[in-house]
């Protein structure tokens, strides 16, 4: 039982370390983190509904996860090869595309939730 608890704590520690690493090393992750924090603070200030908060938090999480996966693809490629490979370029472009799609969705959600309140 103690071994399972220690293993769970270690997994959590590794995950937190990964989040700290990406925020420290990736500019885009820092931007996502800061904009996410601003959206949450703005949501509190504007007293958005629980459902709207849930949607905001989910979209922030999706953008952040897409950025993590994009960074993982780039770092994995850099670890094994620095040579140009059209297949790797295609994979990296698709990962970057996932970040772009999630960011656009997040912007639309933010617009729909916040703009009407800010204009009142």
3-state SS assignment for residue 43 = helix
CA 101/CA 20 separation, integer angstroms: 24
User: With 90 as the cut, is the pLDDT of residue 43 above it?
Assistant: yes
Residue 9 lies in a domain: no
Q: Where residue 84 sits, what CATH number does that domain have?
A: 1.10.287.3610
Residue 20 lies in a domain: no
Residue 4 lies in a domain: no
User: With 90 as the cut, is the pLDDT of residue 36 above it?
Assistant: yes
pTM of structure: 0.85
pLDDT at 62: 98
Predicted confidence (pLDDT) per residue in 63-102, tens digit: 999 999 999 999 999 888 878 889 999 999 999 999 999 9
pLDDT at 80: 87
pLDDT at 10: 81
Q: Phi first, then psi: what are they for 87, rounded to 5°?
A: -70, -45
pLDDT at 66: 97
Sorted by sequence, the CB contacts under 8 Å of residue 22 that are 6+ apart come out as 29, 67, 68, 71
Residue 16 lies in a domain: no
Structural domain span for residue 79: 26-119
Domain count along the chain: 1
């Amino acid at each position: 039982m103690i071994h399972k608890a220690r293993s769970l704590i270690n997994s959590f520690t590794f995950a937190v370390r990964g989040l700290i690493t990406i925020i420290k090393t990736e500019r885009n992750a820092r931007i996502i983190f800061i904009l996410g924090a601003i959206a949450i603070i703005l949501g509190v200030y504007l007293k958005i509904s629980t459902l709207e908060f849930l949607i905001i938090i989910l979209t922030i999480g999706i953008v952040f996860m897409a950025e993590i996966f994009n960074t993982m693809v780039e770092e994995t490629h850099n670890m094994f090869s620095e040579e140009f490979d059209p297949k790797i370029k295609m994979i990296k472009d698709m990962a970057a595309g996932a970040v772009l799609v999630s960011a656009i969705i997040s912007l639309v959600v933010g617009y729909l939730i916040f703009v009407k309140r800010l204009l009142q």
